[in-house]
Each structure stands twice: as structure tokens, then as C-alpha cells.
Amino acid sequence: MACLLPWRASSSHLLDDRDVGGTEDGSTAAAGDYAGQARKALENLRAALTDASASIDDVISTRISVASAAQGDLSTVWEVVHDRSPTRSPEHPGRCNSLGYHEQLVEIEAVAAVPA
């Protein structure tokens, strides 16, 4: 569920929980699969941007969190994000011990600049 909150006179702040690899029923998509969760998180992010009259081309900053200590898992997520966002170079993912939902491995947070 997305909500658009007034932030300043000329901008808004979209808060959305679709930046994670969740599904409509609240379950975690692609449990145990870093690439699958990265793909789902990007799909969810694109849907949230569309709902806010924005697109992936409007994204100016991303933060990618990966719950893993293995370099290979971070590389897997980066490759998925890079391959699906050809118009911009994604930030490299950062490691974390855990994320907010059970079985969640990947979270992608984005900031988009959209004209008022």
C-alpha cells in the first residue's frame, strides 16, 4: 500500500512497502533465492513508481540491502539490478544481518525526482 505525503511545497514523499520482494498475500517471494527476490523487488518498485506517476528513469538514488555475508550473493543481486535498469548504473548493494520480513533477503529503496 502506497501513501503520498506532503513534504514541501514543491515535492512529495512516497512511502511504500513494495520495495521488498513481497507478494500480494504478504508472503515473501522467492524464499532463499537472491536473484528471484531482486527481480520481485524491482517489479514492485516499478509498480510503486508507476502509481506515483514516475518511472525508473526518474530514480536519482537507490539503496540496495542484501542479507548475506557472501560476496557472491551481493554480486548476484547487483547483476539482476544492473540488467533490469539499463538506463542508470545502480549503487552497489550493501550487506546487512537481516531485513524486516521473514525469509527476506533483498530490499531496494529508491528516491525519484518527479516534476510537480
Entry pTM: 0.76
Per-residue confidence (pLDDT) for residue 9, from 0 to 100: 36
5 belongs to a structural domain:
no
Helices marked H in 52-114:
71-84
Tens of pLDDT, residues 35-63: 999 998 888 888 888 888 888 888 888 88
User: Torsions phi, psi of 7, nearest 5?
Assistant: -120, -55
Does residue 23 register a pLDDT over 60?
yes
C-alpha cell at 27: 508472503
Task: State in Å, rounded, how far the first CA of the chain is from the last one.
Answer: 22
Query: In whole angstroms, what is the distance from residue 63 CA to residue 86 CA?
Result: 17
Q: What's the total number of domains in the chain?
A: 1
Per-residue confidence (pLDDT) for residue 70, from 0 to 100: 92
Query: 42: domain CATH number?
Result: 3.30.1330.40
